[in-house]
Chains A and B, each alone.
Chain A
Amino acid sequence: MSDTRIIQTDLSSVLTVEEIAEIDHELVHIPYKSGAAIDALKIVQKARGWVSDECLQAIAKHLEMSSEELEGVATFYNLIYRRPVGDKVILFCDSVSCWINGCDDIKQAISDKLGVDYGETTNDNAYTLLPVPCLGACDRAPVMMVGDELVTNLNNEVVETLFASGKSGGKQ
């Protein structure tokens, strides 16, 4: 079944030359092509923000594995996005130390401010809000990541300043 789907679209031009080179570079210390599945997904996601169906099929073909198998890998991991995300992903820690320090209220404040709940992206495409397992900064709880940046000791003022541009609303 996967084969018929693959034949339907021309996958040869989906991945860039740079992406393919980077994936092939990973293969140097990996004995089987499919062993680079996660690396390849991350390489492709890096510039595009997420992994589309087309990209997934092209990676699967390149790694000589079925796209079903690669889909099983892609959907297992929470940092591989199979849907488009905003310019920055907010990884909000809701684990125990942050919970004790009132993260539920902070989450609500962010949701109110941006008009999004978990799994949703703001209308202006600036942010996607996602929960994340304990971020390992429990002495500075509550914490979250905004893009690559760790934001600690969250309170309403911090939220207010960070997202000062205000409500952009919207769901996806």
Chain B
Amino acid sequence: MEKVLTRNIVPDKGPTDMVAYEANGGYSGLRKAMSGMSPDDCREVVSQSNLRGRGGAGFPTGMKWSFVPMGDKCTPGHKYLVCNADEMEPGTFKDRLLMEYDPHQLIEGMILSAYCIGADLSYIFIRGEYVVAIERLREALAECYAKGYLGENIMGSGYKLDMYVHPSAGRYICGEETALINALEGKRANPRAKPPFPQVSGLWGRPTIVNNVETLCNIPHIIDRGADWFKGLGVGEDAGTKLFGVSGRVKNPGCWELPMGTPVREILENHAGGMQDGLQLKGFLPGGGSTDFLTQDHLDLAMDYNVIGKAGSRMGTGTMIILDDQTCPVGMVLNLIRFFAHESCGFCTPCRDGLPWSRQVLEDIENGRGKAEDLDTLEYQINYIGAIGNTHCALAPGAMEPLQSALKYFREDFERHISGGRCPYHSGVGA
């Protein structure tokens, strides 16, 4: 398969600098755009490519951009492009790789995306713990300014763009795009009500686009090689390639660039090497900690947004977390709910008070103090906290996804905890 996003990534060789990036065709997408394509032309190619956001929700990128007011429809002032490099979704480890080893690819993607929406300022909002990526991005930005790829009159086109790396001060909720905007404004990172959508009123009340790292890394290639080429990369319904990851107790955990629509089984068996000896697959979260469990019955599904959606889960970030038959499903869900309860921003009641309640019930069950009616309580919480519209943002409904699907597929495990008065996995023996 042709590598696109990772073609410059050879971790042993270290990061790709300007010289190496350009030697391998880098910045030719930007050169093409700056020498004759209008922002509308570029956006049209991205729309045609069917690129969908890689940050978790899979929203079509071209459509998202089309809501930004352009030309004289926009009041005078700044427009912003923000890269979401907050990557804290449990089990997600793809953006780190893209930024540490090929920072120029992201920067080129950002310049092009900013051009498409007419932005003049852009930020890479990156979690503070990614110290290596922060340093390499800053070095790459300096190289870009030195070559005239950023700043005034980029490549002589008259287009002007400045770009800053903005390390975050922490908290998972900063990854939610409106919370991220508040964090960029120096405030507490509570999400904002929508509408107005950031495309119209975002950072400092100005039109703003927030895109995921991986989404943006696709843009140079789409502009350079066209929409049809990009669509042809997928083997199923969706376009392009994707970084798929596997973590958990498999033989070879890792992250690989594969065609969109690659079957789960292929990722798990051919790339992750299958389960570690003596372990069986019990279930998996297809795309990070806030996606619903799927099981062995779903191994032949294609990793496409709609296919995984129809099976009752979400593609999310495309990085799978594997549950094996000797790891306690209740313990795993408890770990996730504990995370989400801790990371709640505290703005709305079902999340702030509901998630700790779910955590308490799960702790009771896991520690052998569970009662039969606890399962009804969990169902009640799922219906209440999980309903879209009951909470101010998607954190709380996302938290309910692994819980509701665990209750559906692994209900017996919950019941055995309650009837036996202890965790049946605690000795490390599953059956």
Contact = CB atoms under 8 A, between A and B. Distances in A.
Interface of A: 29-31, 34-39, 41-42, 72-73, 76-80, 91, 94-97, 99-101, 132-141, 145, 148, 150
Nearest to B190: A76
B172 A133 contact: yes
Contacts, number: 124
B327 interface: yes
B92 A80 contact: no
B109 interface: no
B169 interface: yes
Interface residues of B, number: 53
Interface stretch (B147-155, B244-252, B304-312): B244-252
A7 to B, nearest CB: 25
A14 B29 CA distance: 49
Contact of A145 (B129, B168, B188): B129
Interface in B115-135: 121, 127-132
A53 B70 CA distance: 46
B186 A38 contact: yes
Contacts of A99: 331-332, 335
Contact of B171 (A39, A78, A91, A135): A78
29 contacts: A31-B204, A34-B186, A42-B128, A42-B167, A72-B188, A73-B186, A73-B187, A77-B170, A77-B171, A77-B189, A78-B170, A78-B171, A80-B169, A95-B289, A96-B321, A97-B247, A99-B335, A100-B321, A100-B324, A133-B90, A133-B171, A133-B343, A136-B127, A139-B246, A139-B253, A139-B254, A140-B253, A141-B253, A148-B131
A91 B129 contact: yes
A50 B187 CA distance: 19
A100 B248 contact: yes
Contacts of B321: 96-97, 100, 138
In the A-B complex, the 6 residue pairs with the smallest Cβ-Cβ separation, listed nearest first, are A77-B169, A138-B247, A37-B186, A79-B170, A78-B170, A97-B247
B359 interface: no
B101 to A, nearest CB: 14
B417 interface: no
